[in-house]
Structure formats: structure tokens, C-alpha cells
Amino acid sequence: MPITIYTNEDIRPGAIAGQRIAIIGYGSQGRAHAQNLKDSGHDVIVGVREGGKGWKNAAADGVPTAEPAEAVKGADIIAILTPDMIQGEVYRDIIEPNAKPGAAILFAHGFSIIYDRVTPREDMDVILVAPKGPGDLVRREYARGRGVPSLFAIERDATGKARDRAMGYAKGIGGATGGLLETSFREETETDLFGEQAVLCGGAKELVMSGFNTLVEAGYQPEIAYFECLHELKLIVDLFYEGGVTKMHEFISETAKYGAVASGPRVINDETRARMKEILEDIQSGQFARQWIAENEAGKGQYEAWLKADYEHPIEQTGARLRERMAWLHAAKSEAA
């Protein structure tokens, strides 16, 4: 049975009317959420350190600011939009001692709840609203009168208001305009981590680099390998994004289509799928979370070494030289600034 996609009309009018919303953290998502909620007519305050980057950005955006502990006091909904690894500390030191009884704590990703990094007080609603796009897109689409599809979930309804709070918040950031889907904290967390690791970030990166290495090791020029294995990937991903596999097949050549269906399964095969299942099992069991938490607590030495290897890969040097000639990329950066 298809999942229900909720729209603005499905959300009770005034679902969070009169409720103060504290946004803790003013990075990509925090900035978009705060601005969108403010423009939707909600009472928003941003909790950031005075004089810091977040404070300056919020002031420039015209969003009220306060020190994090002060922002939490009196708030009905507290959105914790800081990085996963510091949320435990933020909750313990700032939110728990200052949140009023019956407040809701809202996450944009369920990691801290599923892996016991945060254990909210029993009187608090625990909810999730996760836009399926980066903060700049969430803001940009809202400003255009549209919205980015979003997920919402209820982990605990202590007050009887949790569902209204989650759906009302989602509407306020444009999520119900884009289409709002209900999930659970566990489903959101495990699918998000799997997608990042096996497909979107880890899988795609390794596929691109391995293809580049294969061509260069066979004697082909790095610049040609870059174009074939990285540069043109955006063209294919755009087709996927706009119309799925069907649109990709519609817009590529017959030879490309034949190669895709004949050779794709030789790359992504039973062995690859077995590795994907292992990744999912590590996520489901908590093994990945334990490894990442331990790595973070140990100073992230292995993590930094892996990143350094990526940054120093020959595809990065080749790409940097080629992108200098791509005027449209520089124009896009100027427009964003």
C-alpha cells in the first residue's frame, strides 16, 4: 500500500500557533529552518554563542538570537540542529536543565535517539522533521513558494501535542508544501546512514575513483578519465533526479543503454550486494555508530587519514585543473555569494 503523502491541507490549522521555537545551531539546516519558520509567522529564537559565526549570520538574517541556554528557556519546541557528535553534550548542558516541562525536542536526524546519545526527560515530546535536501535548497524552495519534501516521526508523545508539533513545524519550513511523509526515528536513521554509505557518498565516490584508476592504469590520459568517470556523472544524476531510471534511458544513446543493462550488473553484482547487506547490518546492530563514536572520542585520527587520502587522490588534482576552465562553475559560486 503506498505511503500517505501529507500536504498543508492535512495539517490542523494553528497546529503550533503561539508556540515559541528555539533553534539550537545555525548551520545549513538551522539557518534555513529559522528563516522559513520566521517567515511563516512563528515565534522563533536562535540559540548561538554571542559574537560567533552563527550569531552574526542570524543577526544579518533578521532572526532573534540569544545564548543557547536562554533560547531554550520558555521554548515550546526546541530544535537541536547541531552536528550529531555534540548533541549529547548540548542536551545535557543546555537543554535538559533549561527546558520547561512539556517542551518538545525536535531532531532533523534520529542518530542521537536511536544510538542513545540523548535521553530526553520523560515529560518531553520527542519528534523529528527531516527535509530531504540541504539547507540552502530548503530555504531557496521556500522563498519560491515551493518546498522540499520532508519526513516526520514521533518517538514519544508525552503531551498529546507531539504530532501537531511535528507536522506544524514541517509545514512552517515548507515540508508539507513539498510533501510530508511519516516514518519512524529508526527507519529514518538507518535508511539515511545506509544511503550515505552504500550509495550516495561512499558508494558513488568509490565507483568514480575506481573507474578513474582503471582507465589511468590502462594508459589513458587522466583528463579524459576524469571527464568520463566524474564530470559526466552529474548529467546522469540529473536525469535520475528529474525522471528516474526511465528518463535516463530516454536521454542516453542506444549504445549507452545497451552497455548499461549488459555491463552494469557485472560491476554491481551479488558480491556488491552482499557488502551492502553487511553495511546495513552494521548500521542496524549499532556497530557503525559505536565505531564512529569511538573514533570521534579518540581524536578522529583514522578518519582524518582517510579524508586526506581522498583529498590527495590524483582525480582531485586532475579535476582542479580542469574545473579552472569551466566558467559556469565560477559564475555559480559568484551568484551563491
Is 228 annotated in a binding site? The answer is yes
Is 196 annotated in a binding site? The answer is yes
Q: What is the pLDDT of residues 176-225, one digit of tens each?
A: 999 999 999 999 999 999 999 999 999 999 999 999 999 999 999 999 99
Identify the band that residue 1 occupies on the pLDDT scale cut at 50, 70 and 90.
Answer: confident
The predicted structure's pLDDT at residue 334: 60
Q: Return d(Cα 324, Cα 307) in angstroms, integer.
A: 23
This prediction's pTM: 0.93
Is 49 annotated in a binding site? The answer is yes
Q: What is the pLDDT of residues 279-317, one digit of tens each?
A: 999 999 999 999 999 999 999 999 999 999 999 999 999
Q: What is the pLDDT of residues 60-91, one digit of tens each?
A: 999 999 999 999 999 999 999 999 999 999 99
Is 93 annotated in a binding site? The answer is no
Is 253 annotated in a binding site? The answer is yes
Q: What is the pLDDT of residues 93-143, one digit of tens each?
A: 999 999 999 999 999 999 999 999 999 999 999 999 999 999 999 999 999
Identify the band that residue 277 occupies on the pLDDT scale cut at 50, 70 and 90.
Answer: very high
By annotation, the residues acting in catalysis are 109
Is 197 annotated in a binding site? The answer is no
